[in-house]
Amino acid sequence: MIESTPTILLIPSVPFDENTYLAYFDGRRDCLVFDPGMQPSKIMEAIEARNLTPAAILCTHGHADHIAGNEAMKDRWPDCPLIIGAGDADKLTDPVGNLSAGFGVELVSPPADRTVVEGEGLELAGFRLQVLDTPGHSSGHIVFVADQLSPMQVFAGDVLFAGSVGRTDLPGCSFEVLKKSIDEKLFPLADDTIILPGHGPSTTIGQEKATNPFVGLNS
């Protein structure tokens, strides 16, 4: 049972306008952090201003802009588990795999404390999260579906955006694989399901099915 409506705070970071999400329920002192970006001080300030402690750091995939804050987060809260999909875990410590080397930066993250695959469920900080494998933008991309919320909310990383989709012109990417992930994993969800993407504003499954020019019904 859902204990209340959660607060889901969007914390964007430069230079890639990546979305980090801080999620927590009122009355609790624990929280979840999704995809810590390149300005971890902003994330930590938001957590500490609310007297919260992270129960987990959850990464949808291993690209640099979504893992850049992991080290600072783990330094501040060393007992907080870092969780990522099994297929992208190696990117955390590989600057070539996480694409940072291509930008002239050797960015690495601490290794995962836990890896997950489709079908696994997580119960953390009052949230119940279901894991779905959604490759295409990244070979081991996953999403986290908060299925006890009404409407459901999906921490979606770089799979589906408002009016767009994740890039597929990078190493390890495939538009065909990405489209299959969206068609088979996301579009079957209820139309009012909220997508919380890794970049840009939130949207809904129904909106994207109806209007998305890349994967919608009229694409």
Whole-angstrom distance, CA of residue 31 vs CA of residue 46: 11
- Report pLDDT for 3: 53
- Report pLDDT for 104: 84
What distances in angstroms separate CA 33 from CA 89, 136, 137, 180, 187, one per listed residue?
A: 17, 23, 21, 27, 25
DSSP state of 74: H
Strands 127-133 and 142-146: antiparallel
Q: What number of other Cβ atoms are within 10 A of residue 176's Cβ?
A: 9
Of 46-60, 94-108, 110-124, 190-204, the range with the lowest mean pLDDT is 94-108
CATH fold of 7-211, please?
A: Metallo-beta-lactamase; Chain A (3.60.15)
Structure tokens given for 215: 């994967």
In this model, does residue 119 exceed pLDDT 90? yes
In this model, does residue 4 exceed pLDDT 80? no
